[in-house]
Amino acid sequence: MEWLIEVSHLNRWFGETKAVQDISFQVAEGEIYGLVGPDGAGKTTTLRLLCGAYLPTRVGEHKTTVRVGGFDILKETEKARSQIGYLSQRFSLYEDLTVLENIRFFAEIRGLHSSEWQPRCIEILDFVGLIEFKDRRAGQLSGGMKQKLGLASALVSRPRILLLDEPTTGVDPVTRQDFWQLIIHLVANQQNGKGVCVLISTPYMDEASRCHRLAFMRGGKIISEGTAEQMRQTLHDRICELRGSPLPLLKQIAAREPDIEDVTAFGDRLHLRLRKTLTQETIDRLQDLIQQAGGQFENARLIPPTLEDVFIDLANKEA
């Protein structure tokens, strides 16, 4: 297995604000690795550190290491950057240029000759589904099409490492699905005979479940790392779905139960995080208390934990 990204003891402080705190992780060839967490968790700062836009803050005696594509980003910055395709959170291409002109611009500043970038641009536009719009100005594209253009520009130099900063924020569900199909296809197929990896940040748990491995971030720290299944196993047989009405009353009653650690609303139902496995005694007690208070009890049952359940549990423990 070849590690395309290797990070150890990475910190970045802005004055007293500790945006990234002593994080370490690795991403292998052919892997989609997700940085998952809310706004302010440190995801964007981490990606900017990886592409050399920020310098790490030296903290303590641990040596900071950031290797990208086999190159030290601090000592061999340009060589490392040549391995990277980066798509920022906000559309940052030239709106007055056409789709094709934007990609040509990024190809040429990466040093691609016209004999190379011309067929490559057409190939990439076809890959992302923008070939019909190659002569349209970027400013006239929809939000989802702009993100696809950003991906195309990031891919034009055939990078081995793709850094994607919340690429589907603000786009419609169909475009999100299309975008993920492109990412999955990309890692499944080699570039010039070599495998690629994708490091993607997202606040969406349904997207996190598509990643091969995840790192949950909160307050600049990685608070848990592993596959989605490994994450969910930490709450095996400890999530109970409670249905009934009114929901605020059910939540108030459930929160007072000694066997229940946490209560979270999920649409028209509640998820109860249990201290141990659900018993019939707990169900009967909840039903009696809800009915005595004038509420309606429908049912309570164990369900498989979601990544949202896991993240809420981890966030509460970290707090």
Question: Last residue of some domain: 188, 209, 232?
Answer: 232
Q: Give per-residue burial for 239-252: e unless 16+ CB within 10 Å, then b.
A: bbebebeebebbee
Do 196 and 280 lie in one domain? The reply is no
Q: What is the CATH number of the domain that holds 175?
A: 3.40.50.300
Cβ burial of 201 (10 Å; 0-12, 13-18, 19+) is buried
Q: How far apart are CA 52 and CA 80, in angstroms?
A: 9
**pLDDT tens-place values along the chain, 319 residues long:** 689 999 999 999 999 999 999 999 999 999 999 999 988 999 999 999 999 999 999 988 889 999 999 999 999 999 999 999 999 887 678 899 999 999 888 888 888 777 787 888 888 888 888 899 999 999 998 888 888 898 888 888 889 999 999 988 877 788 888 889 889 988 887 655 578 999 999 988 889 999 999 999 999 999 999 999 999 999 999 999 999 999 999 999 999 999 999 999 999 999 999 998 888 999 999 999 999 999 999 999 999 999 999 999 988 887 6
Do 110 and 126 lie in one domain? The reply is yes
- Could you tell me which residues are beta bridge partners of residue 137? 98
Do 228 and 252 lie in one domain? The reply is no
Do 263 and 299 lie in one domain? The reply is yes
Q: How far apart are CA 120 and CA 29, in angstroms?
A: 22
Do 243 and 159 lie in one domain? The reply is no
Structurally, how many domains does the chain consist of? 2
Q: How far apart are CA 274 and CA 257, in angstroms?
A: 10
Q: Which domain holds residue 259?
A: 235-318
Amino acid at 309: D
Q: What is the CATH number of the domain that holds 264?
A: 3.30.70.100
Do 173 and 39 lie in one domain? The reply is yes
Bond preceding residue 246 cis, omega within 30 of 0? yes
Do 266 and 305 lie in one domain? The reply is yes
Question: Last residue of some domain: 214, 232, 250?
Answer: 232
Do 116 and 240 lie in one domain? The reply is no
Do 188 and 302 lie in one domain? The reply is no
Do 169 and 268 lie in one domain? The reply is no
Do 253 and 126 lie in one domain? The reply is no
Question: Last residue of some domain: 232, 263, 281?
Answer: 232
Do 31 and 174 lie in one domain? The reply is yes
Whats the size of the chain, residue-wise?
Answer: 319
